[in-house]
Structure 1
Amino acid sequence: MTIAPVLSAADSKQRIADTTHELLVEADGVPDPRHQELLDEVVILNAPVARSIASRYRSKGVDPDDLEQVAYLGLVKAANGYRLDAATAFLSYAVPTIRGELKRYFRDCAWTVRPPRRVQEMQGSIAAAEPELIQRLGHVPTDEETAAALGTDAEEVAEATSIRGCFTTLSLDAPGSVDGGTNLLDTVADSEDGYDLVENVHTLTPAVATLGDRDKRILELRFRNGLTQEEIGHELGVSQMQVSRLLRNILEKLRSSLASTH
């Protein structure tokens, strides 16, 4: 029986790096579809790296699956954009590409309320640096400690950390009070048609007051009593055609009167 040797983490990474390079070399010399098949193998082989980078951006209000998809997109871009004549290894090119894709996603797609781009970019830098600082310091870094690590001012860090809630919105089903007896939806004011009615009446009253008695009577029969034009004609002793013309003239007068007051 042959026992396969157990590879160390370093050996495993080196083997992945060597295989990746071999795939990229082969892909460089063949056309599609084989070219793309080889690049797909590169992506699959290095997918754990993309997942690892995406995991560092969790707990920021974005679904983990979305983060992984964005990281995979960055890996795909890296596989397609890497040049064999570059002096750097593939992962040295891929890791910044994946991080850049994640930062762009947070900057452009993940904000509920959109702060200035300067603040968004600072938020991304803080999110990337914070895990290392926590591990090194043994506690959540202060604004001053984070600013020192990033080479910026504590005021900028404080401004960026204050908008972390912009990544998420509260569900309307979330508790609206401490006792949990209501949810946020219960505290949201409902639209009230009565307000619109009051405003419309207040606006129309001066215009209607300028109309003659017959015009007011026609408006009352049509819009208050709900009569048809034919029924109004019977009521006034005129034809339906005349009622239609009268209504059109009345409404035109009202529109003109309202337009002149605005």
Structure 2
Amino acid sequence: MTVTTMSTTGVEVGTGTLPIIPDASAVAPRDARALSKVFFEELAVLEEGTHAYQYARNTLIEMNASLVRYAAGRFRHRGDEMEDIVQVGMIGLIKAIDRFELAREVEFTTFAVPYIVGEIKRFFRDTSWAVHVPRRLQEARVELAKATEELSTRLGRMPTVAELAELMSLTEEEVTEARLASNAYNSSSLDAALNGEGEDGEVSLADRIGSEDPAMELVEDFHALAPLIAGLDERDRQIIHLRFVEELTQSQIGELLGCSQMHVSRLLARTMKRLRAGLLETG
């Protein structure tokens, strides 16, 4: 269906005439409710893609933008830019407009707000987590917070995992998993300052994180090598000790044992091959 007439009073389309609204965003909420019904009646009979259809749909979006600002106000404490929240909420409003039917016999505001709020909550679920976790754990975190607050108030202390599991109708393992997942919600920069510590009164978080001790691998190696070295004969053990503990050269070892440097080299190579094979079998 196409536009047949356009005047200063309205756009003649469908079964009636839609008023031309120069600034639909300035329409008061009370007037928007009445006008929205008129526009929805025409939108239902207009052909999608036509100028008239786009005019009706865009006007509905602008007139009801106040619903988005109202719903977005509930999330001011989240710390995100309000403009970002409003933009996400507009997506929910557009979905509500495209899916609303007057035959539902329900006010558009009642129908639209859950769409708007749902879109905003989905935005927070998908973008607010520092580390992505499965949706079921994201939802479990919210339920865990509610259950913890309820039981803390009721019991006067922090609830146990078993008490939380009973209230949430989950297993203790699932509650523990939800607690661990909660740690992924926020993250801190390694350069974040920790006040009141250090000589100059401030150190970074990275300064408090320990590093991997390379000697730990040596402990494992020594533990695995001990029985293998004990299985060597006396001369081979002595050569290993002189070379790797006393740190003597092969020539010096040869002088002590009364043999050539070449012979010491062959003995070392044979012994190392035996030890290496033993470690591989152990591994």
TM-score bracket, shorter-length normalisation: 0.5 to 0.7
Kindly indicate whether the alpha-carbon contact (under 8 Å) linking 1:54 and 1:71 is maintained by their aligned counterparts in 2: yes
Q: CA offsets, 1:92-139, max 9 Å, x none?
A: 211122123334444565355987846615868xxxxxxxxxxxxxxx
Match of 1:7 in 2: none
Q: Give the letter for the 1:120 counterpart.
A: V
DSSP-derived class of the 1:176 partner? strand
Alignment correspondent of 2:64 = 46
2:47 aligns with: 30
Given candidates 70, 80, 83, the residue that maps to 2:88 is 70
Task: Provide the residue aligned with 1:86 in structure 2.
Answer: 104
Cα–Cα, structure 1 residues 165 and 207, in superposed 2: closer, same or farther, change >3 Å? closer
User: Does the Cα contact within 8 Å between 1:82 and 1:93 map onto a contact in 2?
Assistant: yes
2:111 & 2:66 partners in 1: Cα distance? 16
Tell whether 2:200 aligns with 1:182: no
Q: 1:12 aligns to what?
A: 28
**TM-score in terms of structure 2 length:** 0.50
Q: Is contact 2:92-2:115 (8 Å) kept?
A: yes
User: Residue 135 of structure 1 aligns with which residue?
Assistant: none
Relative distance call for 1:166 and 1:251 in structure 2 (3 A) is closer
Counterpart selection for 2:220 from 195, 199, 212: 199
5+ residue gaps, structure 2: 1-25, 159-178, 244-263
Unaligned runs of 5+ in 1: 1-9, 125-142, 221-234, 238-242
Q: Tell me the SS of whatever aligns to 1:171.
A: coil
Which residue is equivalent to 1:57? Answer: 75
Q: Is the alpha carbon distance of 1:116 and 1:165 closer, same or farther for their aligned partners in structure 2, counting shifts above 3 Å?
A: closer
Q: 1:120 aligns with which of 142, 146, 149?
A: 142
Which amino acid in the other structure matches residue 86 of structure 2? E
Q: Identify if the C-alpha distance between structure 1 residues 166 and 40 changes in structure 2 by more than 3 Å, giving closer, same or farther.
A: farther
Using a 3 Å threshold, how does the CA distance of structure 1 residues 118 and 203 change in structure 2: closer, same or farther? same
5 Å-filtered alignment, 1:141-156, equals: 154-155=153-154
Contact 2:228–2:275 (Cα < 8 Å) also in 1: no
Taking the aligned partners of 1:211 and 1:190, their CA distance within structure 2 comes to: 36
Distance 1:37 1:12, change over 3 A: closer
Please identify, of 32-41 and 65-74, the stretch whose mean Cα deviation from structure 2 is larger: 32-41
Structure number with bigger Rg: 2
User: 5 Å matches for 1:243-254?
Assistant: 253-254=278-279
If each structure's strand is expressed as a fraction of its own residues, which one has the higher value? 2
RMSD between aligned alpha carbons? Answer: 5.1
User: How far off its partner does 1:175 sit?
Assistant: 2.5
Quick one: distance in 2 between partners of 1:36 and 1:207?
83
Checking the alignment, whether the CA contact within 8 Å between 1:61 and 1:167 is kept in structure 2 is no
Task: Supply the AA of the counterpart residue of 2:280.
Answer: R
Select 2:280's aligned residue among 237, 244, 255. 255
Which of 102, 105, 110 pairs up with 2:120? Answer: 102
Structure 1 residues 192, 249: closer, same or farther in 2, change over 3 A?
Answer: closer
- Which amino acid is 1:79 matched to? I
